[in-house]
Amino acid sequence: MTLEDFNKLDFDSKLYEVVDNGVFVDNYVTSRVRINCYSLHKFFVELEYDGDENKIKDVRTFVDGNQLDKYIRK
């Protein structure tokens, strides 16, 4: 699956793809946000968790670059 194919999926299908095929890389946690990062095929996926509603509220994709910095700078 390519990044473009993944981005065309609906929200639930993206979650299933990450859970079924993604490899957990790291998480980023602050008092305001919790994000889990996964490697999937040849790109990365971030799942942002909403603790108040107890659900995933956002799915973001990227290939490399600045988005990885928050996981390196712990």
The domain limits of the chain are 3-72
State the CB neighbour count (10 A cutoff) for residue 71: 15
pLDDT recorded at residue 74:
59
User: Using alpha carbons only, how large is the chain's radius of gyration in Å?
Assistant: 12
Measured on CA atoms in the order 58, 61, 62, 63, is the torsion positive or negative? Answer: positive
Helix (H) or strand (E) holding 7: helix 3-8
The CATH class for the domain spanning 3-72 reads alpha beta
Q: Please report, as a single letter, which amino acid is at residue 42.
A: K
**pLDDT tens figures, 24-51:** 999 999 888 899 999 999 999 999 999 8
Q: Please report, as a single letter, which amino acid is at residue 3.
A: L
